[in-house]
Amino acid sequence: MDEEIFKALPQLLLPWYARSARDLPWRRDREPYHIWLSEIMLQQTRVEAVKSYYARFLTALPDIQALAAADQETVNKLWEGLGYYSRARNLRRAAKEIVERYQGKFPADFTAIRALPGIGDYTAGAIGSIAFELPTPAVDGNVLRLVSRVTASCVCVDDAKVKSEVRNALASVYPAGACGRFTQSLMELGATVCIPNGTPDCAACPLRTICRAMAQGVQLQLPVRREKRARRQEIKTVLILDCDGSIALQKRPPHGLLAGLWQLPEAPGTLSPSQALTLLESWGVKPQDILKQVEKNHIFTHVEWNMTGIYFRCAQKTPQFTWATPEELERVYSVPTAYRQFLTERTI
């Protein structure tokens, strides 16, 4: 790693950050619970989308004690639509651990923070530096891109060794008393100037005087990434069963994708309406009408669901399902977006 370039980062980034930082709700204080919650929500999710979730979550569960005491259904409901629901489960588990082991006070030590459920090196580094002023870098894709451009490094940033080298190099230049701001300045520059998709705004960049990628004109070739594997395709038929306005739901298994959330009944493969009808009858459901059919898809990190949704009107609320009223769908049951998109289509 290039020492001179790393040494120059704090003095170039901190004044720029003081001028250019966006006013984000989680930047208004240094409460560890707020920093933690925002960092978890921001993983894989856009800042604009997180803002309303963050406010709603804190209104419902204003502190670690409240989160630890909440049931998982409540937390899932607050998380509904954000995706990656294991984050919501780990948040609650970690809150319980903080209450049990640390009397409800967030630990101010990197190793203890890192050991909490759902907290990896990046999040521990962010909380450590922003909430507790520890010299603990938070290295994610944004920071790797930035470092790889400013140093014009051609090594593949998906290599775990590179991440730890960047972490060590940054840790050695963390400015005492400004650790939190330094972490946030790196995040901010990666999110707003040295952007991932599209041309980086080098003219507005505080690192332009030292940036080797800019000097060499290779910004868009960096960082070097491993080729992504294609997503697995899964084909399924989703059955939207409506009985007097209530919709049939089933709870998903406690492990795996969307664990413990609520789903619509489904079957593998693409069924025609008459095949779906036969299947429902084999389940003891006797629909009155087939209402309509729609096609939807939903993309997860490693898999894509291609779904045919078939809508049925039913006369009876058969007991193998939980029948949710529109009000309960709104307030009680956490139905992930993959399934919920069929409910917004409902015209029954």
| Residue 117 neighbours by CB under 8 Å, 6+ apart | 90, 93, 94, 97
Instruction: Please indicate whether residue 39 is annotated as part of the active site.
Output: yes
Size of the site for ligand SF4 (CB under 6 A): 15
Exactly one of 27, 51, 208, 292 binds ligand SF4 (CB under 6 A); which one?
208
Using CB under 6 A as the binding rule, whether residue 34 contacts ligand SF4 is answered as no
| Residue 145 neighbours by CB under 8 Å, 6+ apart | 157, 190, 194, 196, 222, 223
Least distance to ligand SF4, CB of residue 178, Å: 20
What's the half-sphere exposure (Cβ side, CA atoms, 13 Å) at 108? 8
Locate 136 and state its tokens. Answer: 């603990």
Exactly one of 94, 211, 239, 277 binds ligand SF4 (CB under 6 A); which one?
211
Using CB under 6 A as the binding rule, whether residue 194 contacts ligand SF4 is answered as yes
Least distance to ligand SF4, CB of residue 170, Å: 14
Q: Which residue's CB is nearer to ligand SF4, number 107 or number 206?
A: 206
- Residue 90 Cα distances to 43, 85, 212, 251, 309, angstroms: 13, 9, 40, 19, 32
Start-to-end CA span in the chain (Å): 62
| Spatial contact of 72 and 260, defined as CB atoms under 8 Å apart | yes
- Are β-strands 246-251 and 287-299 bridged in parallel, bridged antiparallel, or unpaired? unpaired
Locate 154 and state its tokens. Answer: 């051609």
Q: Which residue's CB is nearer to ligand SF4, number 130 or number 194?
A: 194
What's the half-sphere exposure (Cβ side, CA atoms, 13 Å) at 112? 11
Report the amino acid identity of residue 133.
E
**Span from 129-137, 209-217, 284-292, 329-337 in contact with ligand SF4 (CB under 6 A):** 209-217
Least distance to ligand SF4, CB of residue 147, Å: 9
**Span from 60-68, 143-151, 280-288, 302-310 in contact with ligand SF4 (CB under 6 A):** 143-151
Least distance to ligand SF4, CB of residue 222, Å: 8
Using CB under 6 A as the binding rule, whether residue 9 contacts ligand SF4 is answered as no
Task: Say which of 31, 39, 100, 304 is annotated catalytic.
Answer: 39
Exactly one of 83, 128, 200, 336 binds ligand SF4 (CB under 6 A); which one?
200
| Spatial contact of 167 and 160, defined as CB atoms under 8 Å apart | no
Using CB under 6 A as the binding rule, whether residue 146 contacts ligand SF4 is answered as yes
Exactly one of 126, 139, 193, 310 binds ligand SF4 (CB under 6 A); which one?
193
Using CB under 6 A as the binding rule, whether residue 157 contacts ligand SF4 is answered as no
State the Cα–Cα distance between residues 85 and 80, nearest whole angstrom.
Answer: 8
Q: Which residue's CB is nearer to ligand SF4, number 99 or number 202?
A: 202
State the Cα–Cα distance between residues 329 and 185, nearest whole angstrom.
Answer: 41
Exactly one of 34, 92, 149, 181 binds ligand SF4 (CB under 6 A); which one?
149
Peptide bond into 223 cis (omega under 30): yes
State the Cα–Cα distance between residues 314 and 203, nearest whole angstrom.
Answer: 62
Least distance to ligand SF4, CB of residue 155, Å: 17
Q: Which residue's CB is nearer to ligand SF4, number 61 or number 210?
A: 210
Using CB under 6 A as the binding rule, whether residue 213 contacts ligand SF4 is answered as yes
Using CB under 6 A as the binding rule, whether residue 191 contacts ligand SF4 is answered as no
Residues that are catalytic = 39
Which residues are near ligand SF4 by CB under 6 A?
A: 146, 149-150, 193-194, 200-202, 205, 207-208, 211, 213-214, 219
